[in-house]
């Protein structure tokens, strides 16, 4: 039978056999966020289009070419979020989270949407982990956020990762840099693409981020932003470097990092790998002190980063970092006959209530097929209950690894007997689970 439809181009399904990898990575992200004092924030998948026009910047590729924007039945223009920061900032401002005091530390795990050419490590629907800090002007905050991102890579065992940092100045010193860039690129405007020609007057820094080979070649000899930053920005950047040095976190200065979104100021950074091809940036972020003000709030120094989960998983795969397999079934119970199936169901539910994994047949397999299935799912123990077992009120508990069997009662004493065998076979204490059954 032909499928009604396939998945949309640029989207991918995470199937049951692969989802444990995502869960493992996300669990580490949550734990490291908590270690750094961050709490989760969840925002809607779509926002008013104006939010992204104002925050991301209408000279960026994201706004000009890549956003999923549509009109609702009520005539409102809404956009699927292309990144996580703008929505988080809007939520913090709208709900007055700042009234709880600074700093505000929030993290998110979210899906984002950009209409661009799908390729390895870049899809139209992709997933991001991000950390956001509001109300922290100090360079210590910059260093802390960078270290927080690095801690996730460390926990995952990622190697050969390069941390690249830069400062793109502030609203006071950046105009001088823009002027120098405009003068330089005007001399080479015949080699620029149409998109970069439109950026020349409005935001020449975007030209440095262009992926067009001709534009990239011209940009190689463009003025360097670090030659134009003011003393205050230089002091801030020196402070960030001092903190990273103190943390023994190796980095290199890359003056070509400008970030693709307009709200960034001062510190910008990327974690880059050469192990996953052209899409080597697995984490990017920096400071955006003017974002909250741009959205209608008071001046609020802010910073954060976004980490692509798909690219991170590609990196783990390329470096052959083994992700722990999900837990296997602890007990598979086979019931023969209606009364035995009810008893099996009762035992299965009891084991599950202890946070262990128990399974039984729900598709109508025969006894041999069920035993094969128990072996297939690598169940640790199995047990068959029939009329004889019900009458004698006992059954044989089989260790699927050693193939040894032990007779256990089917009354309230079953759980003590089962957990005793389980503890012995795993050489670990499961008192919490055992107590939960009493």
Share of the chain above pLDDT 90, in %: 73
pLDDT of residue 434 exceeding 70: no
Helix crossing, 139-156 with 231-246: angle to 10°? 40
Least confident of 111-115, 157-161, 277-281: 277-281
Q: How far is CA 176 from CA 172, 223, 228, 269, 307, in A?
A: 8, 11, 7, 22, 31
**What share of the chain in percent tops pLDDT 70?**
93
Average pLDDT, the chain: 90
Structure confidence by residue, pLDDT tens digits, 82-115 = 999 999 999 999 999 999 999 999 999 999 999 9
Rounded to an integer, what distance in angstroms lies between the CA atom of residue 135 and that of residue 251? 26
Residue-level pLDDT at 392: 94
Structure tokens at 302: 């802010």
Distance CA 358, CA 382 (A): 10
Mean pLDDT computed over 414-433: 69
Helices and strands per DSSP (H, E), number in the chain: 16, 16
Q: Residues 334-354: pLDDT tens digits? A: 999 999 999 999 999 999 998
pLDDT at 419: 86
Give residue 436's pLDDT: 45
Highest average pLDDT, of 66-70, 129-133, 191-195, comes from 129-133
Secondary structure class of 98 (helix, strand, coil): helix
Torsion of CA 257, 261, 262, 264, to 10 degrees: -60
Could you give the strand order of the β-sheet that contains 252-253, starting from the edge strand earlier in sequence?
39-40, 104-113, 125-134, 302-308, 281-287, 265-273, 161-167, 252-253
Least-confidence region, from 36-40, 366-370, 384-388, 420-424: 420-424
Torsions phi, psi for 390 (to 5 deg): -65, -40
Give me the torsion for CA of 294, 300, 305, 309, rounded to 10°.
Answer: -70
Residue 435 has pLDDT above 60, yes or no: no
- Quickly list H helices, 95-191: 139-156, 174-187
Lookup result for tokens 């193939």: 403
Domains in the chain: ranges and CATH: 19-173+229-318 (3.30.930.10), 331-437 (3.40.50.800)
Residue showing tokens 């000009």: 64
Name the maximum alpha-carbon separation found in the chain: 95
∠ CA 19-21-27, rounded to 5°: 100
Asked if residues 82 and 70 have their Cβ atoms less than 8 Å apart, the reply is: no
d(CA 181, CA 170): 16
Q: Is the pLDDT of residue 438 over 50?
A: no
Q: What does pTM read for this prediction? A: 0.88
Q: Please check whether residue 185 is in contact with residue 205, taking contact to mean a CB–CB distance below 8 angstroms.
A: no
Q: Note the pLDDT of residue 62.
A: 66
DSSP state of 122: B
The pLDDT score that the predictor gives to residue 59 is 52
* pLDDT at res. 36: 97
Shortest CA distance to 142 belongs to which of 349, 303, 308, 22? Answer: 303
- Tell me what pLDDT residue 122 has: 81
**Could you tell me the pLDDT band of residue 171, with boundaries at 50, 70 and 90?**
confident
pLDDT of residue 58: 57
- Is the pLDDT at 247 greater than 90? The verdict is yes
Higher pLDDT, 277 or 132: 132
Between 415 and 237, the more confident residue is 237
Residue 437 has a pLDDT of: 43
Measured distance CA(272)–CA(160) in Å, rounded: 9
Segment 139-148 shows an average pLDDT of 98
């Amino acid at each position: 039978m032909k499928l009604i439809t396939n998945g949309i181009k640029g989207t991918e399904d995470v199937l049951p056999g692969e989802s444990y990898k995502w869960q493992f990575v996300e669990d580490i992200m949550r734990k490291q966020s908590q270690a750094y004092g961050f709490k989760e924030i969840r925002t809607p998948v779509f926002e008013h289009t104006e939010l992204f026009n104002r925050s991301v910047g209408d000279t960026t590729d994201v706004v000009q070419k890549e956003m999923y924007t549509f009109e609702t039945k009520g005539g409102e223009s809404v956009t699927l979020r292309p990144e996580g920061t703008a929505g988080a900032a809007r939520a913090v401002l709208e709900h007055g989270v700042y009234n709880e005091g600074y700093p505000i530390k929030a993290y998110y795990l979210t899906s984002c949407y950009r209409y661009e050419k799908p390729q390895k490590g870049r899809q139209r629907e992709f997933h991001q982990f991000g950390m956001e800090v509001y109300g922290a002007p100090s360079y210590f905050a910059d260093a802390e956020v960078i270290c927080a991102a690095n801690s996730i890579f460390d926990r995952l065992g990622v190697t050969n990762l390069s941390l690249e940092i830069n400062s793109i100045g502030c609203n006071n010193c950046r105009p001088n840099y823009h002027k120098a860039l405009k003068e330089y690129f005007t001399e080479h405007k015949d080699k620029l693409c149409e998109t970069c020609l439109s950026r020349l007057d409005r935001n020449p820094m975007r030209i440095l981020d262009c992926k067009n080979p001709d534009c990239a070649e011209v940009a190689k000899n463009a003025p360097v932003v670090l030659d134009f930053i003011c003393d205050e920005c230089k002091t801030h950047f020196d402070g960030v470097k001092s903190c990273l040095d103190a943390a023994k976190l190796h980095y290199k200065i890359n003056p070509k990092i400008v970030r693709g979104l307009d709200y960034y100021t001062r510190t910008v950074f990327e974690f880059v790998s050469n192990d996953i091809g052209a899409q080597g940036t697995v984490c990017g972020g920096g400071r955006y002190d003017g974002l909250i003000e741009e959205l209608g709030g008071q001046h609020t120094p802010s910073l954060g980063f976004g980490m692509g989960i798909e690219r991170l998983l590609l990196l783990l795969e390329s470096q052959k970092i083994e992700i722990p397999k999900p837990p296997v079934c602890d007990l598979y119970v086979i019931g023969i006959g209606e009364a035995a199936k009810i008893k099996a169901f009762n035992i299965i539910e009891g084991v599950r209530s202890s946070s262990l994994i128990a399974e039984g047949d729900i598709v109508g397999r025969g006894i041999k097929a069920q035993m094969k299935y128990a072996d297939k799912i690598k169940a640790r123990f199995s047990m068959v209950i029939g009329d004889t077992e019900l009458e004698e009120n006992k059954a044989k508990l089989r260790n699927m690894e050693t193939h040894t069997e032990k007779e256990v009662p089917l009354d309230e004493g079953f759980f003590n007997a089962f957990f005793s065998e389980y503890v012995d076979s795993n050489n670990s204490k499961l008192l919490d689970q055992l107590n939960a059954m009493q």
